[in-house]
A and B are shown apart, each in its own frame.
Chain A
Amino acid sequence: MMKRNVAIIGCGQTKHGRLRDVNTSEMIAEAAWKAMEDANVTPDEVDAIVVGNMQGFGGIYDTELWAGELFGAPKPFLRITTGGTTGGSVAHGGYYSVASGLYDVVLAVAFEKHSDSKERGASTGLAHVAMANIFHTMQHGASIKWLVSLATGAATGVSAFQASCYMYRSGCGVKHLDMVAAKSRRNAAKNEYAHLRWPNCTPEDIAKTEWISYPLRFGHVCPASDGASAVVYAEEEIAKKKAERPAWIKGVAAYADEPNLMGENSQGTAITDLSEQLQCIISAREAYQRAGIKNPRKEIDMAEIYQPFPHQELMFSERVDLFDDGKAWIALEEGQTEIDGSMPLDPSGGVISTNAIGSSAMQRVLECALQVMGKAGKHQVPKDVKNAVAHGWGGATNFTTITVLGDSPRR
């Protein structure tokens, strides 16, 4: 069966940070309008809209029911939400909407407004992922000391444990986490939409920040941001008319594994090494196969990895087969993953610098599209970008979205 070629023809995002001069619907509309203007389409040319965010953070259920008319109603809306990968799942929803042949032009917008939650950072939503499990465990007499140790030790949730798993598996040290965090902050300084921007930040700057809980420091971790990001998809003929260099979607995949750390109501779950990330390995293979990419390390020119915590840039760049298992820190030390390196990772500054959770995985796809289209401005990588891979993780590090973009449609 001949698959329909689909491309991103327009990208739009708000500045990410603490956005208190807009309400949620205006924030979403701003990104949606910027994407439509970038794609030079009017709302009437848009056939359907895919939208998503992590509902518990903003306190609004199905925000598009209130916000929808600001950028398109009456029109078909589809809400897709999958935790941290929401932005990537919304991006896949937009792709599938056009690839299915049901629609020709589709707008996909993802967002989050953490500052609308009274609790500091993103704790409302994050703690709430496992709230039922915690209630259940406390009801069965778990000790207060255990609860306190979780709240202090694993405040950052699954990722805190995962960092130690990965450091054992790869042999990398805390200094490599400092290096990744510093690189992200420097790259973010070249990205006007990023939340935390620190020109010429060094690993030593990061090393001076307080520990949250070993091995993660405050300097390592992502902020809780407000922000929205959107892309416009089009089928092949329209894409060629609307954009001189569309970003073609060559392959998508989003596999799920057993939840890490715990199951429903804290039942056992058979994942012992949280850094294995089998679903990311499978998603990458499937997406490369659909994209017709045989050797990712040669054919992929850059990647946007979803890395709210620095060990994840190293870990997931290995799981998407850009480096050997456990060896990404060598490429980091050799500067391969710098913005001007042979395999730039997260030239946008990544999730360490900007994390509006619903929007983050969409930003990875959007940033790769900008790089392929040559429209990334100050943080455009110097090398020619023919193929790029956008990654997202979510859930209890058991969801992964992979999107492979390129400068030519699949034949």
Chain B
Amino acid sequence: MNRKIAIVGYAQTHHEHDPPNTREGMVFEAAKGALDKAGITREAIDTVINVSSDYQDGRTISNLFLVMAEGAYLKDESKVEMDGAFGVLYAMMRILSGNHDTAMVVGVTQGSIFSPHQISFYTLDPTFDRQIGLLNDISAAAIQARMYKNKHDVSDEQIAMVSVKNLVNAASNPYAHRKIPDLNVKKVLGSKLYYDPIRELNISPISDGACAVVLASEEKAKEITDAPVWIKGVGSCQDSYLRDRNLLKLESLEIAAKKAYEMAGLKNPSKEFDVAEVTERFSHEELMIYEALGLCSEGRGKILIETGVTERKGQIPVNPSGGALGADPVLATGLVRIAEAAKQIRGEAGKYQIQGVRQALAHGQTGLCAQSNIVFILGGEE
């Protein structure tokens, strides 16, 4: 990269279902919080990237009435209508171009105003799949989970362990939405069955929340903070449509991760980052994410979860913050992953801080069965 970029500030709202707050209020709280965290005012921001969706907010041009609350008044502003992590990629590009030195990405979704599962149905091919009417993000994920289980002989219990890990982790994260400190595999397998084998506690909750991240060029970052979190690498990729892709693997995530590792100069990734914050909309997805990130070979994800490798005190902690199963404000979820990864590097993760984190991975995804993925490698000062 011709210019180094750092994260210098971040903030998120407390994610809940249907909290007494407006969309505008959440955006303002996150944006103001991120500026305060960075110790700068709105005037120091050159460009603002809004991350929201017309369908999630029920408003065509969802960023129109958020200009003032997100701090974009008389600023160079645009909107990315995908997972918030893609908004960080676009903000990075704007700084790398030399046109801007600082950028703020503000993502928001109020899941309670209209079901994200219904909205996932609108991404289907309207001339065919949508007419048959069976598919949505959960039923498609259920078909994928079944195929993955059969191919690699993965048990429902092993998949449930992901929910147990993340929802217990979420209990020590003040911002998480769903916290079940005493969760166990039995309770997960006892929760309401939606589409076999996916149950209630295998699905990320419908959360309302916002998150903001402030980025700066190397020179500006050093002025703003003495603990910049450098963006060492980024890679993204989108797979083919559901009908014409391999559902047994997250191929686009493999490609995205390889690109991010290459840019960050990681030779042996699973050894070189100390924590990962990934977006797992369904428990089985986290196992497939382990494999796509190269933490283990294909089909071995179940071993990592069973042996506690990805627990907080494991060799490669994954989602100490509780992940998307702990809180899923849809378009803000990828941004929250980046904020949580940055927190780990700056030692600000409180009760779920992993010791000695130098490099962290953050992952965002969008589309049925994680069709489009993005991976960031973040690192502290050398």
- Specify which chain B residues have a CB less than 8 angstroms from the CB of A395 in the assembled complex: 61, 63-64, 67
- Specify which chain B residues have a CB less than 8 angstroms from the CB of A97 in the assembled complex: 93
Answer whether residue A253 sits at the interface, using C-beta atoms and an 8 A cutoff. yes
Q: Is the CB of B2 within 8 A of A66?
A: no
With contact pairs A129-B60, A256-B72, A286-B76 given, residues A76 and B123 touching in the complex (Cβ less than 8 Å)? no
Q: Is the CB of B67 within 8 A of A82?
A: no
| Interface 1/0 per residue, A204-232 and B, CB below 8 Å | 00000000000000000000000000000
Answer whether residue B66 sits at the interface, using C-beta atoms and an 8 A cutoff. yes
- A132 and B62 CA atoms in complex are apart in Å by 11
| Interface 1/0 per residue, A53-66 and B, CB below 8 Å | 01111011110111
How many Å from the CB of A100 to the closest CB on chain B?
A: 4
With contact pairs A61-B122, A65-B238, A75-B238 given, residues A254 and B78 touching in the complex (Cβ less than 8 Å)? yes
Number of interface residues of B (CB under 8 A): 68
Within 8 A of B (CB), among A25-83: 25, 52, 54-57, 59-62, 64-66, 68-69, 73-83
Q: Is the CB of A129 within 8 A of B61?
A: yes
Chain A interface extent, by class: 35 or more
Name the one of A79, A93, A256 contacting B75, with C-beta atoms under 8 angstroms: A256
Segment among A167-175, A259-267, A323-331, A348-356 that sits at the interface with chain B? A259-267
Q: Is the CB of B72 within 8 A of A62?
A: no
Name the one of B55, B78, B234 contacting A92, with C-beta atoms under 8 angstroms: B78
Q: Is the CB of A100 within 8 A of B125?
A: no
With contact pairs A1-B3, A54-B61, A78-B89 given, residues A256 and B77 touching in the complex (Cβ less than 8 Å)? yes
Q: Is the CB of B22 within 8 A of A264?
A: yes
- Specify which chain B residues have a CB less than 8 angstroms from the CB of A66 in the assembled complex: 123-126, 241
Q: Is the CB of B367 within 8 A of A259?
A: no
Which of B76, B86, B256 lies at the interface centre, i.e. has the most chain A CB atoms within 10 A of its CB?
Answer: B76
Q: Is the CB of A68 within 8 A of B65?
A: no
Answer whether residue A87 sits at the interface, using C-beta atoms and an 8 A cutoff. no
With contact pairs A23-B127, A55-B55, A100-B93 given, residues A80 and B64 touching in the complex (Cβ less than 8 Å)? no
Minimal Cβ-Cβ distance residue in B for A52? B81
Name the one of B78, B98, B240 contacting A80, with C-beta atoms under 8 angstroms: B78
- A259 and B123 CA atoms in complex are apart in Å by 29
Q: Is the CB of B73 within 8 A of A258?
A: yes
- A54 and B82 CA atoms in complex are apart in Å by 14
| Interface 1/0 per residue, A245-271 and B, CB below 8 Å | 000000011111111000111000000
- A185 and B368 CA atoms in complex are apart in Å by 44
Name the one of A65, A100, A131 contacting B367, with C-beta atoms under 8 angstroms: A65
Answer whether residue B156 sits at the interface, using C-beta atoms and an 8 A cutoff. no
Within 8 A of B (CB), among A392-411: 394-396, 398-399
Q: Is the CB of B123 within 8 A of A54?
A: no
Minimal Cβ-Cβ distance residue in A for B126? A60
Q: Is the CB of A74 within 8 A of B251?
A: yes
Q: Is the CB of A259 within 8 A of B65?
A: yes
How many Å from the CB of B330 to the closest CB on chain A?
A: 12
Answer whether residue A278 sits at the interface, using C-beta atoms and an 8 A cutoff. yes
- A290 and B98 CA atoms in complex are apart in Å by 10
With contact pairs A54-B60, A78-B90, A263-B65 given, residues A61 and B238 touching in the complex (Cβ less than 8 Å)? no
With contact pairs A1-B3, A66-B124, A97-B93 given, residues A79 and B82 touching in the complex (Cβ less than 8 Å)? yes
How many Å from the CB of B102 to the closest CB on chain A?
A: 14
Q: Is the CB of B252 within 8 A of A255?
A: no
Q: Is the CB of B86 within 8 A of A78?
A: yes
How many Å from the CB of A183 to the closest CB on chain B?
A: 29
How many Å from the CB of A237 to the closest CB on chain B?
A: 15
- A57 and B55 CA atoms in complex are apart in Å by 11
| Interface 1/0 per residue, B124-168 and A, CB below 8 Å | 111100000000000000000000000000000000000000000
Name the one of A68, A99, A125, A283 contacting B241, with C-beta atoms under 8 angstroms: A68
With contact pairs A76-B237, A80-B81, A258-B67 given, residues A3 and B98 touching in the complex (Cβ less than 8 Å)? yes
- Specify which chain A residues have a CB less than 8 angstroms from the CB of B22 in the assembled complex: 264-265
Within 8 A of B (CB), among A104-136: 125-126, 128-129, 131-133
> A-contacting residues of B (Cβ < 8 Å)?
1-3, 22-24, 48, 53-55, 58-61, 63-69, 72-82, 86, 89-90, 92-94, 96-99, 119-120, 122-127, 234-241, 244, 251-252, 255-256, 366-368, 371-372
List 8 contacting pairs A-B, 8 Å CB cutoff, sorted by A: A24-B126, A52-B81, A55-B53, A96-B99, A133-B65, A256-B75, A256-B77, A259-B67
